[in-house]
Amino acid sequence: MKKLSLDQIDCNILIALQTNNRIYNQKLADKVFVSAPTCLRRVRRLRKTGIIQKDVSILNPNITGPMCFFLMHLALHEESNQQMAKLEKKFQSLNSVLQCYLVTGEWDYTLKLCTQSISEFHSFVDTHIYSNPLIKKFSTQTLLKEVKNITALPLSGIAATDG
């Protein structure tokens, strides 16, 4: 994505939309001190350029009953681009994998997983980890308590300044 120059109004729009993307355009315009047509034009540009990637609803994880969350760290036998791309595609297709990161250090990947039970997690490990010849070893941490979980990016200081 080509870097787009953002001014303070764009940043203020993005800050507001990260908190509530269902805000009415007129209310958003009032909040960022521009006219409604200007605000709408800016929001459309932010979406068209890919700065706003998608609009989603964040669900309460308790709606389906107890859920288990895990961080899993994976080390690979080898780091070939072709094998890693295949592994990444696999993880992208699995509903239990909420997030997947290629990382530095001792581990090659870190996954955030969500299952409805420990037995479902065990089945995930048997099916997708133990049976995968690319994975050399793994370590898992069970998430006990959510202390902070935000989706808003910190935008302070990114607005382009004239001068």
Can you give the residue ranges of every domain in the chain?
Answer: 8-48, 61-142
Query: What pLDDT was estimated at residue 60?
Result: 85
pLDDT in tens, 15-56: 999 999 999 999 999 999 999 999 999 999 999 999 999 999
CB-based contacts of 110, cutoff 8 Å, min separation 6: 71, 72, 73, 74, 100, 101, 103
Tokens of 54: 């998608």
Signed CA dihedral, 111, 58, 9, 148: sign only: negative
Give the largest Cα separation in the chain, rounded.
60
Query: What pLDDT was estimated at residue 127?
Result: 97
Domain 8-48 maps to which CATH number in 2.60.40, 1.10.600, 1.10.10, 1.10.3470? 1.10.10
Tokens of 57: 């609803």
Query: What pLDDT was estimated at residue 160?
Result: 65
pLDDT in tens, 97-134: 999 999 999 999 999 999 999 999 999 999 999 999 99
DSSP-assigned states of every residue in 24-71: -HHHHHHHHTS-HHHHHHHHHHHHHTTSS-----PPPGGGGS--EEEE
**Could you tell me whether strands 109-115 and 97-102 are parallel, antiparallel, or unpaired per DSSP bridges?**
antiparallel
Average pLDDT, the chain: 92
Cα 1 to chain center, whole Å? 17
Exposure b/e, 91-112, CB count within 10 A at least 16 = b: beeeebbeebeeeeeebbbbbe
Which of helix, strand or coil describes residue 84? helix
Classify domain 61-142 at the CATH class level: alpha beta
Q: Above 70 in pLDDT, residue 161?
A: no
Give the span between the Cα atoms of 134 and 148, in whole angstroms: 33
